[in-house]
Each structure stands twice: as structure tokens, then as C-alpha cells.
Amino acid sequence: MTTDSSPLPEGEPPVPDDVWDRFLADSERDIRATAPKEPSARARIVARRLREEDEKAAAEAPRGRFGRRGRGPVRAAPHGWRSGTTDEAERRLARRRLVRGAIGVILAVLVVLILLSPGRAWSLVSGGGWGHNGAAVPAPVATLTGSTGSAGQ
């Protein structure tokens, strides 16, 4: 019994030449497509400058409550000539953010009040005012006047 299990005759390559050439071409193309590309010198300079601006802005950022700085990396806002916005537009946006934040806080307080005391909230909506405690008020009893006198008999 022989230990050689290959059915190929001697001297013949295991893979035909055209298949091997196609494999090499495909491999080279895939290697070139997936190879990491080094950024240009200009891209490295710009990236370093932006990183330094961000670090400078983070160092100059005001401290928040409890002496901590803001969460996450601080991105430096571009100057007006780079962002396409004017100072007036930026002030308008800041005012808008402030108003939206105030409205959000007011809505959150209202939702909490409604969840804690739905009866009192409903009485405010229906016109009962703050003094109404939500208890049922008996309706006034109407008296009959000018009756014929046979109502009680």
C-alpha cells in the first residue's frame, strides 16, 4: 500500500498557471485596496493644529459645579469667519437655547405636579383654583315656591 494519495502525475503542478496568475492579480489588487494610507503632510499639520486648539479650549473651559470641567472632550467652536455665522446669529441661537431650556424646565415641573396630584391639577384646569381640595360639593337644593299646596299630601 502506498502513502501517496495525490492523483496528480509526477511533474505536473497542482494548480494551473492561469488560475495561479488570476490569484496573484486578485491578491495584489486587494492588498493595495486595503493597505493603510499615510495622510499627507498637510493633513497631519491640520490635524495637529485642530488637536492643539481643542486642548487649549479644554484648558480654558470654565469649571462647572463641584469644581469639575465639562463632560467629554471640548470641541473648540470655530470663529465666525470659519463657521459662516455672525455674532448676532450666535447670540440669537444662545437666547433660543436659553428659552428652550426654561420651557423644558417649566414643562417638567408641570408634569411632576400633575403626576403627584392629578385631582388638584384637574381642578386648576376646570377653574376650581388652588383652594379647591377636590372634594365633591353638594348641589344647592331648589325650593318650590308658588305651589298649589298639594305637594306634601
pLDDT tens-digit series, residues 14-41: 778 888 888 888 888 888 887 788 888 9
C-alpha cell at 136: 365633591
Let me know: does 136 contact 142? Beta carbons within 8 Å.
no
Q: Which is more confidently placed, 41 or 71?
A: 41
Residue 102, CA distances (Å) to 88, 99, 105, 112, 121 in order: 21, 5, 5, 16, 21
pLDDT at 21: 86
pLDDT digits (tens, 9 = 90+) for 93-141: 899 999 999 999 999 998 998 899 888 878 877 876 655 455 555 666 6
